[in-house]
Amino acid sequence: MHNKKVLLIYTGGTIGMITDQSSGALRPFNFSQITQQVPELLKFKCAIDSIAFEKPIDSSNMNPETWVSLVKMIEQNYEEYDGFVVLHGTDTMAYTASAVSFMIKNLSKPIVFTGSQLPIGIIRTDGKENLITAIEIASAYKNHVPLVPEVALYFEYKLFRANRTTKLSAHHFNAFESFNYPILAEAGIDIDYRFNVINPLPKDKKVEFQYQFETGISVLKLFPGISQDTVTHHLAQPNIKAIILETYGSGNATTEKWFLEAIEKAIQQGIIIINITQCKSGKVDQTKYETGKGLHKLGVVGGSDLTIESAITKLMLILGNTSDKSKVIEQFERNWVGEKG
């Protein structure tokens, strides 16, 4: 008798590909035959079912519509399964996983994203270990309570909080990092769960799914020498509701008059400006330097230690639900599921 049930959802990406014998090219394999590729799955104590996107996609083609399709699959199966493993291309996995963490309120079951750098059919693949351990984590319960009741990302022996991750390497097996939050678990001979940093079960048991996104946002990465033209054109784009400024260090930007005036004008026109640092670790503090204070005084919203992936997906989801500027800012600044310090 299997005691736990896990649903495997294949969206696309390298992990689900095999080499076509005739052409030598990589192509997605029929996911319903996953146990032929990974016979180890038959040895699990939990029951594993799998479903796949009708047309598996490279994760570069993910967008809010595909996030919605994915979360609908989870919602439709939420009661029936104890945990979910999402197989996803690594390129935008941090975005999708962050978005999913914000789309589901009061999540009380594990959702573990994973993928691989080498296809599962290749002899040196990292896909088998990633898949097998992700299933183990998604089915891990003690006294009917899941060990990881949150959206997580498992890669190369480490379990991360999904909305804290960034893809770091296009080459190494350890492709992901979470710079501003400790790992949730590490897999060795045993899986060592760090319960002090894992989200507890939500008090409110009623799970809720949110599906409305507003994509009218943009990211402006500052660099020394950025021209006035570039900045003013960027801020003047039509139908833009919010702009994320990627600033330096602890949230600093040039104090040139034309720059601050352009930001001020955009804010007066109702555009929300968010400050996220280009640094991978550390956080925005707009009161630390003169170069940050200018932005703070104009009403730029400090993004704390959010990753750019979290900032983008959280902002799109909030704007999909309200256009009231003060509500957007209030919701953005609130910590939803441990995405910020």
Residue with smaller CB distance to ligand ASP, 129 or 214: 129
Stretch that binds ligand ASP, among 9-17, 33-41, 74-82, 185-193 (CB under 6 A): 9-17
Strand pairing report for 191-193 and 185-187: antiparallel
Residue with smaller CB distance to ligand ASP, 91 or 285: 91
Strand pairing report for 166-167 and 176-177: antiparallel
Q: At what angle do helices 93-103 and 308-321 cross, to 10 degrees?
A: 40
Catalytic residue among 11, 14, 90, 133: 14
Confirm or reject binding of residue 14 to ligand ASP (CB under 6 A): yes
Instruction: Respond yes or no: is residue 14 known to be catalytic.
Output: yes
Considering only residues 89, 127, 294, 302, which one is a binding residue for ligand ASP as defined by CB under 6 A?
A: 89
Considering only residues 37, 90, 163, 250, which one is a binding residue for ligand ASP as defined by CB under 6 A?
A: 90
| CA gap 64, 266 in Å, rounded | 26
Q: How far is CA 175 from CA 89, 114, 195, in A?
A: 12, 11, 24
Considering only residues 91, 136, 150, 339, which one is a binding residue for ligand ASP as defined by CB under 6 A?
A: 91
Sign of the C-alpha dihedral computed for residues 151, 79, 68 and 127 taken in this order: positive
Residue with smaller CB distance to ligand ASP, 16 or 294: 16
Considering only residues 7, 10, 13, 96, which one is a binding residue for ligand ASP as defined by CB under 6 A?
A: 13
> How are the residues of the chain apportioned to helix, strand and coil, as percentages rounded to the nearest 5?
35, 20, 45
Residue with smaller CB distance to ligand ASP, 66 or 90: 90
Closest residue to ligand ASP, Cβ-based?
A: 89
The distance of Cα 251 from the centroid of its chain, to the nearest Å, equals 22
Q: Partners of 105 in the beta sheet?
A: 208
Stretch that binds ligand ASP, among 7-15, 268-276, 280-288, 332-340 (CB under 6 A): 7-15
Confirm or reject binding of residue 58 to ligand ASP (CB under 6 A): yes
Of the candidates 112, 125, 201, the residue with the CA atom closest to the CA atom of residue 160: 112
- Catalytic residue positions, numbered: 14
Q: By the criterion CB under 6 A, which residues form the site for ligand ASP?
A: 12-14, 58-59, 89-91, 115
